[in-house]
């Protein structure tokens, strides 16, 4: 049916991203990483257990060593997956003052019930960090702008 209004997924669509251990990853890449890691680890664990229980007299020690081998395989596959599937970070290098989204965020904070707060009440360590990042002056300007708007009413 040519007039079907049902939306269709296209290859140009944005990939679905999820957060895993504070990293943003594509779900497709996560699925591929699991397809690599789980079978290799399971096969390695079972092969190691079979080989070691046949070669060693004490089955408990053989199973313990096979678990260690399984853990080593997990670490190796994690490194391989980290190299194959990089996180999908979006890194910007522009200063906060140059960003329109930063200014919009400050304006949004101004109208919130708590407002921007008071920059003079910020602890010295936090103030220094904000100055290092170029944020402190922007907050002071936004605070002054907010005070002028409040005084104009």
* Tens of pLDDT, residues 35-75: 999 999 999 999 999 999 989 999 999 999 999 999 999 99
Say how far apart CA 126 and CA 44 lie, in whole Å.
50
As given in the structure block, the two tokens for residue 127 are: 């103030």
Other C-beta atoms closer than 10 Å to the C-beta of 81 total 17
- 77 pLDDT above the threshold of 80: yes
Q: What is the mean pLDDT of the chain?
A: 80
Query: pTM for this one?
Result: 0.49
Whether residue 7 is predicted with pLDDT greater than 90 in this model: the reply is: no
Rounded Cα gap, residues 109 and 2, in angstroms: 47
Given this model, what pLDDT does residue 94 score? Answer: 64
| Residue whose tokens read 């907010």 | 146
């Amino acid at each position: 049916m040519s007039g079907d209004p049902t939306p269709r997924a296209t290859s140009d669509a944005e990939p679905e991203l999820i957060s895993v251990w504070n990293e943003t990853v594509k779900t497709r890449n996560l699925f591929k990483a699991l397809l690599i890691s789980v079978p290799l680890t399971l096969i390695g664990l079972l092969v190691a257990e079979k080989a070691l229980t046949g070669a060693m007299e004490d089955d408990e020690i053989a199973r313990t060593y096979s678990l260690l081998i399984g853990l080593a395989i997990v670490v190796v596959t994690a490194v391989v997956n980290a190299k194959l599937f990089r996180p999908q970070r979006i890194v910007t290098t522009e200063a906060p003052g140059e960003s329109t989204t930063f200014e919009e965020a400050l304006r949004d904070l101004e109208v919130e019930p708590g407002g921007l707060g008071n920059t003079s009440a910020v602890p010295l360590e936090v103030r220094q960090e904000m100055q290092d990042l170029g944020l402190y002056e922007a907050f002071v300007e936004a605070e002054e702008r907010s005070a002028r708007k409040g005084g104009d009413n």
